[in-house]
Structure 1
Amino acid sequence: MSSQGDILKKMEEWPKHYNPKEIEPRWQNKWLSREFWEKVIRFQDSDTRPVFFIDTPPPFTSGELHMGHAYWVTIADAMTRFKILQGYNVLIPQGWDTQGLPTELKVQYRLGIPKENRELFLKKCVEWTEEMIGKMKSAMMRLGYRPNWEQFEYRTYSAEYRAIIQRSLLDMFNKGMIKMRKGPVYWCPKCETAVAQSEVGYLEKQGILAYISFPLKEGGEIVIATTRPELLGATQAVAVNPEDERYKNLVGKVAIIPIFNKEVRIISDPAVDKEFGTGAVMISTYGDPQDIKWQLKYDLPVDEMIDERGRMKGTGFLDGLKVEEARKKIVEMLKQQGFLKKLEGLTHNVLSHTERSDCQSPIEFLVKDQVYISVLEFKDRLLSEMKKMTFKPSRMAYYLQEWINNMEWDWNISRQRVYGTPLPFWHCENLHLVPADPSSLPVDPTKSSPPLEKCPHCGLPLKPVTHVADVWVDSSVTVLYLAGFYNNKERFAKAFPADVRLQGTDIIRTWLFYTFFRTLMLAGDVPFKRVLVHGQVLGPDGTRMSKSKGNVVSPMDRIEEYGADAIRMTLLDAAIGDDFPFKWDTVRGKKLLLQKLWNASRLAYPFISKRKVERPEKPHVLDVWVLNEHRNFVERAISAYENQDFYVVLSMLYNYFWEIIADEYLELIKHRLFSDDQSAIYTLSRILKDIVIILHPIAPHITEEIYSKLFGDKESVLMEKLPSVSDIPSDQEAVRIGNEVKEINSAIRTKKVSMRLSMNSPVKVKLIGSLSFVEDIRKVEEDLKKTLKITQMTYEINDSSRPIIEVEPDQPMGV
């Protein structure tokens, strides 16, 4: 046995302080090595291990890895590492949502490249995208994220991925689901493109409510109230509720639109709100979605008065003005001519382009030729099939169900932009679509000849569809692309449906819905078995992070100070689905826990490093106690990982490792370690190795470092298997003794503090309790004496339900 001096010298080889700044990059480089990929990460189609497929979100390539990105990256990485330890062949991708409006706007305005110069514009879009990917990828790696970059990193603009997108559209066309038609579309004047229903929502804004007199042709007037007086000239009818007694005698009469002197009929419709304004409204083409419904219902004419840039047209005196300017001008004209009865300020909900956080502009309705995918006819099937997918938390299923129930429009997949996947179709003047030949994919119809000379339906010439696809068309085939639906039947048979879809609440009606819908239509089944919907990471003030509020926190801000593991632990210390604030004080606390683990490992290092210790035939009772606690920890932790309850693992780590192992057990066995006690060394070695493996998915860097120093049986923790505790028998007597020892420890330490004694001060102890209690403590008397510096321990037996512990200094106070 080594001397105490040798042991302490050996311990000095281990740094006192865990330094993540030095250690973490070293392990990240190791994980990125080809050797590590080959041995641990590589996905094998022919592998006999079961497949576990995580469909992770392809983030838009903004260049900034914000805290929301860091959150799902950490969840994905923790799931991946756990499943590898569990023995799965894990398919963990990382895609990039590369195409879309934000990049176009950066290139158009920041770089000053006009989109009319199409080839140069697209070239600069790709260059910008790659620069942004480089920044985000570097930050992901610094967090310890290790997806399968080598096999499953994809970009939605790549030729391979585009071919799959276009193939899926051709398949849907062949099923009769894709058509081109003219009609009203949601239009964003700021972004100058059509958008889908899933990309719009209502925002509270300040507006006006104008009360306008419409003269009646036969004499008299009807007063309507409108928030959009600038659309006065597009009015096609005046509507009232049939139950409204005020207007029953006016239904069927003719009203004259002021200023424009156009005659319209007064109609009755139950959708009119009697309580809003005057209870009489103007139906204009188009002020809101209700106007569209009325126009279709009553076959009303259509007048377009707003162009693609949100400026007025077709009025003469308002032409060229922005909507807001035209609204002010028409109100002033109505006032001057005596038609304005009243003007009120109003706070109301305005339909806006909400899916783009940097837009939020009001939506207009323009009449356009657009390409649509039929969705509405499948609502019942979607509601039925979604029940095959389980949701965590279960309440998130409601939001998908509500979205399906409330859909009113088919999916408009046309976007009037440049940087996107070309829609693989040509069309004639009658809007018949002709699809590309599948062998030509990926194809750009603006650069290629159509597969036919003329439209097979009407014989008219064909011209290319110049629109590009909605970005959700791109990202809604992630499962099919990764599982090999079109090009790898062997993988598809094993990997589909994906085991987990990981995403946030904000894209339930977009990425979740469209992936679900498209996969069901194309592959005939749901895309994933389980949907994991995480909440939002809030600012330190508990509100949503916003640059304008100054509460945005980046994971990179202080990663050098606290390390990636402490940040990961902070992000995972909340139930999936809950919103939570991110605070650096919490990260600091997590780093303290990691330091505690580092200290315990440093203490163990001289006794267990690279040393194989046999299990003793008759283990010490305190070792039996702690192994029973350990069994409970391991079983519950594995169960929590299975259910993605990472916060439960962390909570147990505090309760078990900090409070039992670090604060109690290590102190109790120090004297046995220095005596080379095999029972103590075996137990310590076992529990530390298991803890390192269990904690690895959440805190991979520190666990790799500790594993390499203490055990090093393999090149990485990930080459181990999850610990088994089936060999640890239940021993209630040992558990009882251990709990009694904890109680005595706590009481004596508290007494020493109250007497202003140091923890190393010798004391005399008298224990008063039941016979069974005294008998228990006699079995561990020597351990207590050496741990708590007890020079004399006496006992008194009585019938009290709780033991009494008396403590006095071994020498007079003040000596």
Structure 2
Amino acid sequence: MAKLPKYYGGKETEKKWQNFWEEEGIFKYDENSDKPVFSIDTPPPTVSGSLHIGHVFSYTQAEIIARFYRMNGYNVFYPFGFDDNGLPTERLVEREKGIKPRDIEREKFNDICLEVSENVENDFKELWQSLGFSTDWDQLYLTIDERSRRISQRSFLDLYEKGYIYKKESPALYCPNCKTTVAQAGTESKTSPSKFVDLKFELENGDDLIISTTRPELLPALVAVFVHPEDEKYSDLIGSKINPPLFDLEVEIKADPKVDMEKGTGAVMCCTFGDTTDVEWFKEHNLALRQVIDENGRMNGLAGKYENLTIKEAREQIIKDLDKEGYITGTRKIEHPVNVHDRCEHEIEYIVKSQWFINIMDHKEEIKKQGEKINWYPEFMKQRYTNWVENLKWDWCISRQRYFGVPFPLWYCSDCEEVILADDEDLPVNPLKDEPNKTCPKCGSNDFVPENDVLDTWATSSVTPQINARWGENDDRMEDIFPMNLRPQAHDIIRTWAFYTIVKSFYHHEEIPWKNAMISGHVLAGKGSKISKSKDNAPSSPQELIDKYSADPVRYWTAGARLGRDAEYSTEVIEDGRKLINKIWNAIKFSIMNLDDFDKKQEGPKNIIDKWILHRLTETIKKATNYLEDYEFGLALSTIEDFFWGEFCDNYIELSKQVFFRGEEDEQLGTQKVLYRVAYDILKMFSPYLPHLTEDLYQRFFSDFEDEISIHIADWPEANEDCINKEINYEMEKILEFVELIRKSKSENNLSLRHPIDKISYECDYEKVDISKAMKQISFLLWIDKVEDDFEPDYTAESENGKLRIKIKWGEK
């Protein structure tokens, strides 16, 4: 008989089983298996620094689901990737190495990016392994590796040929800090303090018109003034000219219903460009272009004496000059939303550039319908996707003026400017180093100019299903894993990663990328503040937590949240995980102690307690399984825990002790059979959450009776309907009510549960309930010597509903 140590081994034991899983290939995806595939489109974490506990929170939740489906007979495809191309990696290099991409030769900077990202990726992998992730590391991909670059470029070519991609000189969202265009999904709204300035403009007749603005630095970019067509106070001015202060300009007053008559004075500056409304007016009214902010975030020559000032410097100086010249009639402080780049939180500007776009606006309804085909967990997250699509105002700009990224697979003819696309068999290409093996189809020239921009990071991340499925490669496996079964991700990137992946899948394949989307919440540092890299507000690093508590208690904390809900970081819950681990260890230790000479061929349950625990086990399995199939890992864990702590530990183990210590042999054999089944099924249900502990206990005892090399490829517990017995369950509920009444009686008399009861009598008014069936076990559990009717009681009690009544004569301790 196996003998367990007093305590579980913790972190050292975890490392042992992590090595075992890797050496034995327990979690390998088998391309030759005839099992149904369950494929997971795991988020490739961005290589932009260290991971925080928010990552541990959401990634572990998805990993729990991977383990559940593996135990349910699926050939689980659970890969990992690292998103190492593009701006986040560049910014990491800038911070760590103190260099800017334009300060050194492009290829040398890219080599440094590769070196830095490799070091970070090794740290990431080590963290996931230390948490016991059941990933097949043979499926690892990087978004900058050769296959990913090839598939990303193949995606561009396919969309170009299908007419979804175009190039156009157009106002684009631009980050002066990162010196690149960004997509709408790459921006966030941030509340910022500002100042409304009331300025005097001069009308044709010499009168003044007051206009309020928060951006006086855009006065030299003024191209029109707009009023609402129904605003009576300005109706006579529509079509007339007006001059701004400080700058020698004359523009027309125009009418447009988008003007908010209640904001400011009801007259609005239109500058190219201050916001999206300016862009819309520019296009709808065919206005002139006066772009006064350059790509470095400074004022250009159109700003006159303010040239070369930063935006902030220009704003301050222009306000001073306006005040000096008497143009300001009033100011007031405000808080208003501003558009910022989500990577650096710098305010976004609008720059006219020639950019590549993917057409979104012409297909919004179709894209919205694709989202409706996906099962969203929780379901309300689908509305976030729908709202995002409905409120889109821009096509997807995929050009980035950076160095480290996937290049556009194209050149331009230097003679006629024709776009020259790379051939698929030549991918991946770097147009800065490679030449097309063709002549210009339009003019026959052999002289080409490479595209200098790189693709948006999301243009590659949006084809992670295709990268996993090796789309278009010699070893293409699209038929095996696409569409994928599951996309786990956080709710904040529904507008980016989910949206872009759905768009690409629809445009490429007229298919959804995955059948189910499992949306996790964030970890909060307190007061609703999300833990993030940029804020550096995590109370502890993941590795520190693992070093202090070991992996399984940390995993337990991640699993306690409701799907899609934010949760506060809690060391108390991690401590609860440690307590649970100790309790499981001791409960299984007791079970093993009483399974000496156990034989799986023994006959089944003989008494009501054994039959009852099998009924409750079956109900627990069914309930937990249903929750996990709906990706409600937290509710499933709560269900399993309630059964373990309540029915199994508090009642079944305690009541079954009499059988092992005093019972007849045939009853002992039946209880052994039940105890083995329940203990093993409990371990299997806990195994997705606490993989190291459950593997250790499995290998110490249960592996001698089971065929699988690891508990994690054993079958998920079966809900045996033959064990369902509602009559026995009802009867045991009342018997346990009787037990609780005795326990309460001891507590109210300040006696320990082990204090002897010399005599007890009881009355039960529940129909079809025979307490005597379990009286041997109850007497042993609660130290009852005799059951008699005729004695003078020391204490009487009854249940709240009066159905159970007891009389007690206390014994001597």
Residue 347 of structure 2 corresponds to residue 362 of structure 1 = yes
- Alignment-derived partner of residue 563 in structure 1: 550
The residue matched to 1:560 in structure 2 has which SS?
Answer: helix
Residue 394 of structure 2 corresponds to residue 393 of structure 1 = no
Counterpart-to-counterpart distance in 2, 1:426 and 1:68: 42
> 1:463-612 counterparts in 2 under 5 A?
463-487=449-473, 491-540=477-526, 542-545=528-531, 550=537, 552-608=539-595, 611-612=598-599
Distance 1:264 1:460, change over 3 A: farther
Cα deviation code 1:339-391 (max 9, x no counterpart) = 222222221111211x22xx111111111111111111111211222221111
Q: Does the 8 Å CA contact 2:756/2:811 hold for their aligned counterparts?
A: yes
- The count of corresponding residues between Structure 1 and Structure 2 is 794
Counterpart-to-counterpart distance in 1, 2:498 and 2:524: 22
Return the match for 1:161 from 137, 143, 148.
148
- Alignment-derived partner of residue 396 in structure 2: 411
- Alignment-derived partner of residue 360 in structure 2: 375
Q: Does the 8 Å CA contact 1:94/1:147 hold for their aligned counterparts?
A: yes
> 1:236-315 counterparts in 2 under 5 A?
236-314=223-301, 315=303
Q: Does the 8 Å CA contact 2:361/2:394 hold for their aligned counterparts?
A: yes
| Cα distance, 1:722 vs structure 2 | 1.5
Residue 663 of structure 2 corresponds to residue 662 of structure 1 = no
Deviating more after overlay: 667-676 vs 644-653: 667-676
The residue matched to 1:218 in structure 2 has which SS?
Answer: coil
The residue matched to 1:612 in structure 2 has which SS?
Answer: coil
Return the match for 1:760 from 741, 751, 754.
754
- Alignment-derived partner of residue 191 in structure 1: 178
> 1:692-731 counterparts in 2 under 5 A?
692-712=683-703, 713=706, 714-726=708-720, 728-731=722-725
Counterpart-to-counterpart distance in 2, 1:250 and 1:63: 56
Amino acid at match of 1:788: L
- Alignment-derived partner of residue 6 in structure 1: none
Cα deviation code 1:144-172 (max 9, x no counterpart) = 1121111x110011011100000111011
| Cα distance, 1:774 vs structure 2 | 9.7
Counterpart-to-counterpart distance in 1, 2:185 and 2:789: 75
Residue 344 of structure 2 corresponds to residue 343 of structure 1 = no
Deviating more after overlay: 400-409 vs 424-433: 424-433
Counterpart-to-counterpart distance in 1, 2:528 and 2:189: 23
The residue matched to 2:435 in structure 1 has which SS?
Answer: coil
Q: Does the 8 Å CA contact 1:205/1:347 hold for their aligned counterparts?
A: yes
| Cα distance, 1:600 vs structure 2 | 0.7
Counterpart-to-counterpart distance in 2, 1:156 and 1:270: 46
Unaligned 5+ segments in structure 2 are 791-797
Q: Does the 8 Å CA contact 1:180/1:432 hold for their aligned counterparts?
A: no
- Alignment-derived partner of residue 48 in structure 2: 62
Q: Does the 8 Å CA contact 2:614/2:724 hold for their aligned counterparts?
A: no
- Alignment-derived partner of residue 741 in structure 2: 747
Cα deviation code 1:92-144 (max 9, x no counterpart) = 11011001223212323531344231122111100100111111111111111
| Cα distance, 1:415 vs structure 2 | 0.4
| Cα distance, 1:428 vs structure 2 | 4.8
Deviating more after overlay: 522-531 vs 710-719: 710-719
Deviating more after overlay: 643-652 vs 732-741: 732-741
Counterpart-to-counterpart distance in 2, 1:183 and 1:155: 32
- Alignment-derived partner of residue 133 in structure 2: 145
Q: Does the 8 Å CA contact 1:770/1:801 hold for their aligned counterparts?
A: no
Return the match for 2:673 from 672, 682, 692.
682
Counterpart-to-counterpart distance in 2, 1:133 and 1:549: 19
The residue matched to 1:255 in structure 2 has which SS?
Answer: strand
Residue 310 of structure 2 corresponds to residue 322 of structure 1 = yes
| Cα distance, 1:766 vs structure 2 | 2.7
Q: Does the 8 Å CA contact 2:273/2:279 hold for their aligned counterparts?
A: yes
Unaligned 5+ segments in structure 1 are 1-9
Counterpart-to-counterpart distance in 2, 1:737 and 1:223: 83
| Cα distance, 1:48 vs structure 2 | 1.2
Residue 804 of structure 2 corresponds to residue 803 of structure 1 = yes
Q: Does the 8 Å CA contact 2:604/2:673 hold for their aligned counterparts?
A: no
- Alignment-derived partner of residue 794 in structure 2: none
Return the match for 1:26 from 4, 10, 16.
16
Distance 1:78 1:250, change over 3 A: same
Counterpart-to-counterpart distance in 2, 1:102 and 1:730: 55
Counterpart-to-counterpart distance in 2, 1:540 and 1:795: 60
Q: Does the 8 Å CA contact 2:127/2:543 hold for their aligned counterparts?
A: yes
- Alignment-derived partner of residue 3 in structure 1: none
TM-score by structure 1 length? 0.93
Residue 806 of structure 2 corresponds to residue 793 of structure 1 = no
Counterpart-to-counterpart distance in 2, 1:561 and 1:808: 50
Q: Does the 8 Å CA contact 1:626/1:738 hold for their aligned counterparts?
A: no
Q: Does the 8 Å CA contact 1:180/1:433 hold for their aligned counterparts?
A: no
Amino acid at match of 1:519: S
Distance 1:489 1:804, change over 3 A: same
Distance 1:607 1:298, change over 3 A: same
TM-score by structure 2 length? 0.93
The residue matched to 1:598 in structure 2 has which SS?
Answer: helix
Distance 1:600 1:536, change over 3 A: same
Amino acid at match of 2:504: R
- Alignment-derived partner of residue 795 in structure 2: none
| Cα distance, 1:260 vs structure 2 | 1.7
Deviating more after overlay: 665-674 vs 433-442: 665-674
Distance 1:433 1:410, change over 3 A: farther
Residue 411 of structure 2 corresponds to residue 421 of structure 1 = no
Amino acid at match of 2:682: I
The residue matched to 1:767 in structure 2 has which SS?
Answer: strand
The residue matched to 1:558 in structure 2 has which SS?
Answer: helix
| Cα distance, 1:754 vs structure 2 | 2.8
Amino acid at match of 2:218: L
Counterpart-to-counterpart distance in 1, 2:248 and 2:583: 82
Return the match for 2:190 from 203, 207, 215.
203
Distance 1:405 1:739, change over 3 A: same
Residue 340 of structure 2 corresponds to residue 352 of structure 1 = yes
| Cα distance, 1:665 vs structure 2 | 1.1
Distance 1:433 1:242, change over 3 A: same
Return the match for 1:52 from 16, 20, 38.
38
Distance 1:629 1:110, change over 3 A: closer
Cα deviation code 1:254-279 (max 9, x no counterpart) = 11222222111111111111111111
Amino acid at match of 2:294: D
- Alignment-derived partner of residue 735 in structure 1: 729
Q: Does the 8 Å CA contact 1:224/1:280 hold for their aligned counterparts?
A: yes
Q: Does the 8 Å CA contact 2:469/2:481 hold for their aligned counterparts?
A: yes
Residue 777 of structure 2 corresponds to residue 783 of structure 1 = yes
| Cα distance, 1:487 vs structure 2 | 2.7
Q: Does the 8 Å CA contact 2:731/2:769 hold for their aligned counterparts?
A: no
- Alignment-derived partner of residue 80 in structure 1: 66
Counterpart-to-counterpart distance in 2, 1:288 and 1:618: 74
Runs of 4+ in structure 1 displaced over 6 angstroms?
457-460, 771-775
Amino acid at match of 1:174: E
Return the match for 2:211 from 224, 227, 230.
224
Distance 1:338 1:81, change over 3 A: same
Distance 1:68 1:704, change over 3 A: same
| Cα distance, 1:65 vs structure 2 | 2.1
Counterpart-to-counterpart distance in 2, 1:730 and 1:297: 70
Counterpart-to-counterpart distance in 1, 2:30 and 2:485: 17
| Cα distance, 1:209 vs structure 2 | 1.4
| Cα distance, 1:461 vs structure 2 | 5.4
| Cα distance, 1:540 vs structure 2 | 5.0
Distance 1:666 1:439, change over 3 A: same
Counterpart-to-counterpart distance in 2, 1:262 and 1:122: 46
Amino acid at match of 2:237: L
